[in-house]
Amino acid sequence: REIVLEAVGQTEHAFQYAHKALRQDRKIVREVVRQDGHALQYADNALRQDREIVLEAVRQDGRALEFAAEATQRDREIVLEAVRQNGWALRCVPEAMQQDREIVLGAVRQAGRALMYAAEEMKQEREIVL
């Protein structure tokens, strides 16, 4: 466990080489994604559906939303956390949520060019564009 956490601290892709049992261990995965949100991609599928794990991952790096299970990608609170942490996460957001004013606004405030992933009607809103 300590070795895996140390390795993840050294390089972001180290978790992929951890034993499957460690990638299925909820406590370890939670600690790992706190250090590197992108490590979520190497976690067991069941943990990629775990709301708490995914929240930890997107708080560390909003782009980790890409590696979350589909159901958690539709969770509004998770999506808001993700786009506020990294506006580029908007590209991983389900199309219906790319029409959500608060989500789009959170994304473009963090990364203005994320507007390219917003729904067309959002691109016409003055407050969002400016």
- Nearest 5°: phi and psi at 43? -75, 155
Question: Which of the four pLDDT bands, split at 50, 70 and 90, describes residue 2?
Answer: confident
Query: 124 Cβ partners below 8 Å, 6+ apart?
Result: none
Q: What is the mean pLDDT of residues 17-32?
A: 91
| pLDDT at res. 115 | 93
User: From CA 124, how far away is CA 59, in angstroms rounded?
Assistant: 29
What digits encode the pLDDT tens for the residues 57-91?
999 999 999 999 999 999 999 999 999 999 999 99
| pLDDT at res. 12 | 66
| pLDDT at res. 13 | 78
> What is the average pLDDT value for the chain, to the nearest integer?
91
| pTM for the full predicted model | 0.89
Fill in the DSSP letter of residue 26: H
* 40 SS3 class: helix
Question: Which of the four pLDDT bands, split at 50, 70 and 90, describes residue 9?
Answer: low
| pLDDT at res. 5 | 67
Fill in the DSSP letter of residue 43: S
| pLDDT at res. 17 | 85
| pLDDT at res. 50 | 98
User: From CA 37, how far away is CA 109, in angstroms rounded?
Assistant: 21
